Copies of this chain bind each other. A is one copy, B any other.
């Protein structure tokens, strides 16, 4: 098994490469939190670009170092845009991050998420209920036939989703990040548990979406597992620092972006985490 020291060195490298090269990660993402996604991507040193149309999705797939796909607020055109974008990503061997927000709501969402199975997202990020439901939709171990997602919220705990997360990571050959009180990141052979964060993260919309966008930024410069762990560690660190300065969820979100921007590579790598074989 890879050592913690090795992992930390790779995290440091990912953070520094991003800060130095300002890599572009395009997104097709929901309109509720699209601004927060972009600002979080910029805060860690990336460049953001968002589109809706099929040929624009294909363009960004080619032009970006990685792409973030979030199905939160589907528009009719997504029936065309999303399949051709993820196909372009897959064919070009470009990393992409899937956020299966609100899986279970509506026919198009189910149809699209089912299609994505063959295009193997390099990182899947979601809450526990979303991860379990996606494994179920894809017929993998640890999944359930019915989604327990309530709107955009989880009703399961992170540990409930471990088997599903491992199965998804094995299927894609990438990594899966399950967000919750303690976050789980796995590549199908090892699992990391990342600590920190803040109770305010559930009191602002888009903490999960913007994390997915930041995973895509790091995925331009690191393996799926390192990208997912680095982004999660950066989030846990920034959230915990921001909480100590916040007077409520409004000032928390502002301080969070500030802390995300200020966090150094060493800060992020030293944010507490544990690893185990799975």
Contacts and interface: CB of A to CB of B under 8 A. Distances in A.
Contacts of A31: 31, 34, 50
Contact of A258 (B56, B77, B102, B251): B251
A56 B259 CA distance: 36
A55 B73 CA distance: 12
Interface string A150-169: 11110000000000000000
Interface residues of A, number: 63
Contact of A35 (B36, B42, B47, B255): B36
Interface stretch (A3-11, A123-131, A242-250): A242-250
Tell me how many chains of this kind the complex includes.
Answer: 3
B43 A249 contact: yes
A258 B247 contact: yes
A73 B50 contact: yes
A90 interface: no
Interface of A: 24, 26, 30-36, 38-39, 42-43, 47-53, 55-56, 59-60, 63-64, 72-77, 102, 105-109, 150-153, 202-206, 246-251, 253-262
A214 to B, nearest CB: 14
Nearest to A50: B32
Top 5 closest pairs, chain A to chain B, by CB: A248-B258, A250-B257, A49-B151, A56-B106, A38-B205
A70 to B, nearest CB: 13
A205 B33 CA distance: 13
Given A43-B203, A249-B258, A150 B53 contact: no
